[in-house]
Amino acid sequence: MTNTVLITGAAGGIGAAAVNLFAKNGWRVIGVDRADYGGGFPARGLFIRADISHPEEMQSIFEKARDFTDSLEALVNNAAMQVAKPLIETTVEEWDAVMQANLRSVFLGVKLAYPLLKTGSGAIVNVSSVHAIQTSANIAAYAASKGGMLALTRAMAIEFAPDNIRANAILPGAVDTPMLRAGLGRGHDGHGDMRERLDNLARKTVNGRVGQPAEIAHAIYFLADNEQSSFMTGQALVVDGGATARLSTE
């Protein structure tokens, strides 16, 4: 039997790398993004252009998913948005937009995917962030949404265990994605060109470099694959080049 995975935020960065890796390993991929997918989507897959922050579009996504497959062996909640500004300058509308895209979409997506996941004894992989456990200035809404995702992941693991559905979170550190590059505009890693800002950020990791989307995709695949991580559920896997291992006072 061929496994099927649904990946949100499939058109860019980590999501696109995950699409390629799952397809390379023989999975059928359902990709979801509000942007067009650049390049050819896997031939045996299905790409759905939709905005996961809107409940009615989420309903449509899973109607199409049910027409495409009878089961899901994995659901990767990867789509996210970021507002990079001081907390006191963040508007209610911006706060709500981040929560809708990053947290409510995960709750609703899992709820709608549940029948397919139950049939497939599937795995849920929630792409959180190191900002869930250690954060920085001017990114409070994003950090709060990603922290909430960790608590939600634990709740899912407990509730879905009787159905043989596992739920885990992955916490990427600095990864060279469009979101990271946009976030570097906050100025916390210097005010030079993008190369200088990336280099400044790289020096703060133990490994001395910024991660690549494919590296995070491999960690996602590990958590999604029941042969590799069958005894893991309710856990948070940090993939950050060692950034959170170092004392800030060092």
Write out the catalytic residue numbers.
142
Please give the biggest Cα pair distance in the chain.
54
CA–CA dist 145, 150 (Å, integer): 9
DSSP tag of 130: G
Beta strands in 40-161 (DSSP E): 46-49, 74-77, 123-127
CB-neighbour burial class of residue 192 (10 A; exposed 0-12, middle 13-18, buried 19+): exposed
Beta strands in 24-100 (DSSP E): 28-33, 46-49, 74-77
How many Cα neighbours within 13 Å face the side chain of 62? 20
- Return all residues near 110 (Cβ < 8 A) that are at least 6 apart: 75, 77, 117, 124, 156, 167
CA–CA dist 211, 174 (Å, integer): 6
- Return all residues near 235 (Cβ < 8 A) that are at least 6 apart: 157, 168, 169
